[in-house]
C-alpha cells in the first residue's frame, strides 16, 4: 500500500522568510496530493491540492510542486506570518483501487516574530 | 449551514466499556472516513466507506467497528478490545464524484476520547 514520509517534523523560521516542507510517496499510482493545515485543537483544513498531471500550483503565498519521477512533492510558504504557525500534513491518494488518503506524519511550523 | 458534525467533543470511557462516536454530514458526500490522531502523530485511517452499506478496514481497524446505514451518518464504535483508545478521533468526508479532486477530504471538529 501507499506510504508517505514527511520532513522535517519541526520547522522554525523568521517572520517574512520562506518555509518548505517535503513529502515522498511510494505508490506510483497515486495521482492526488493535498496539503492540510491544523491549528492547535482544531480540525485539519485543506489549504491546497494538486493532481499528477500538473507540476506546480500556486495560491497567493502558498505553492505546491510535484516531481512524479522522483515521487516527491513539496509545500512552499513565502512571506511567512505568525498565523502560518500550525501543523501541516501532506497526503497522497489514487482515484483507482482503495481511493483513500494516506497522510504524512506532520510538520510543526513555528513562525518567530 | 453545510458541514460535518462530530459529537460529543469530549468523551470519557471506563475501561471495558464500548462507546460510540457520532459523525453526521450534510454535504451530500459519498465517502466517509475515520482517523485517529495521537499527540505529535499523523492521521491514521481506522475505517472508510465509499458508499452506503459498504465499508473497508483501514490501517488500524482492530478494536473498532463502524456502520453506514445512511449516506449522512458514519458512527464509530470503540470496543473494549481496543487496548489503547485514548486519542483524538477525526471524521472526514469527500465528494466521491467529479474527477480526482473528489478525493479531497473535509474534516469534522473531532472527538477527544479519554479512558478513565
- CA–CA separation, A84 and B80 (whole Å): 39
CA distance B45 to A103: 9
Find how far residue B64's CA is from the centre of its chain: 10
**Which residue in B33, B30, B31, B29 sits closest to B21, CA to CA?**
B33
Closest Cβ–Cβ partner in A32, A43, A95 for B107: A43
Mean pLDDT of chain A: 93
pLDDT tens digits, one per residue of B68-106: 999 999 999 999 888 899 999 999 999 876 666 677 789
Q: Do B102 and A51 touch (CB under 8 A)?
A: no
User: What's the confidence (pLDDT) of residue B96?
Assistant: 76
For B26-43, the pLDDT digits (tens) are 999 999 999 999 987 789
Q: Closest by alpha carbon to B10, among B111, B115, B116? A: B111
Contacts of B39 (CB under 8 A, 6+ apart): none
Size of interface A-B (CB pairs under 8 A): 60
Q: Which residue has the cell 500500500?
A: A1
* Phi–psi pair at A45, nearest 5 degrees: -125, 135
Model pLDDT for residues A43-81, shown as the tens digit of each residue: 999 999 998 888 999 999 999 999 999 999 999 999 999
Interchain proximity A95–B103, CB inside 8 Å? yes
Closest-approach residue (CA) in chain B for A6: B42
User: If you write DSSP's letter for every residue of A20-79 in order, what string do you get?
Assistant: EEEEEE--TT--EEEEEEE-TTS--EEEEEEETT-SEEEETTEEEEEETTTTEEEEEE-S
Amino acid at each position: 500500500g501507499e506510504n508517505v514520509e514527511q520532513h522535517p517534523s519541526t520547522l522554525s523560521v523568521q517572520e517574512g522568510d520562506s518555509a518548505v516542507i517535503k513529502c515522498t510517496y511510494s505508490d506510483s499510482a497515486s495521482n492526488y496530493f493535498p496539503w492540510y493545515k491544523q491549528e492547535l485543537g482544531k480540525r485539519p483544513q485543506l489549504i491546497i491540492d494538486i493532481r499528477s498531471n500538473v507540476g506546480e500550483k500556486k495560491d497567493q503565498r502558498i505553492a505546491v510542486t510535484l516531481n512524479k519521477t522522483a515521487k516527491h512533492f513539496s509545500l512552499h510558504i513565502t512571506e511567512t506570518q505568525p498565523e502560518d504557525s500550525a501543523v501541516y500534513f501532506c497526503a497522497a491518494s489514487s482515484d483507482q483501487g482503495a481511493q483513500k488518503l494516506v497522510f504524512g506524519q506532520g510538520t510543526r511550523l513555528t513562525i518567530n516574530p | 449551514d453545510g458541514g460535518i458534525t462530530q459529537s460529543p467533543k469530549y468523551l470519557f470511557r471506563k475501561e471495558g466499556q464500548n462507546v460510540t462516536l457520532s459523525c453526521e454530514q450534510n454535504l451530500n458526500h459519498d465517502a466517509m472516513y475515520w482517523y485517529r490522531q495521537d499527540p505529535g502523530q499523523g492521521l491514521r485511517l481506522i475505517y472508510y466507506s465509499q458508499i452506503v452499506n459498504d465499508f473497508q478496514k483501514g490501517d488500524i481497524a482492530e478494536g473498532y467497528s463502524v456502520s453506514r446505514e445512511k449516506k449522512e451518518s458514519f458512527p464509530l464504535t470503540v470496543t473494549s478490545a481496543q487496548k489503547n483508545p485514548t486519542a483524538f478521533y477525526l471524521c472526514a468526508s469527500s465528494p466521491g464524484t467529479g474527477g480526482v479532486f473528489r478525493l479531497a477530504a473535509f474534516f469534522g471538529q473531532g472527538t477527544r476520547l479519554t479512558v478513565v
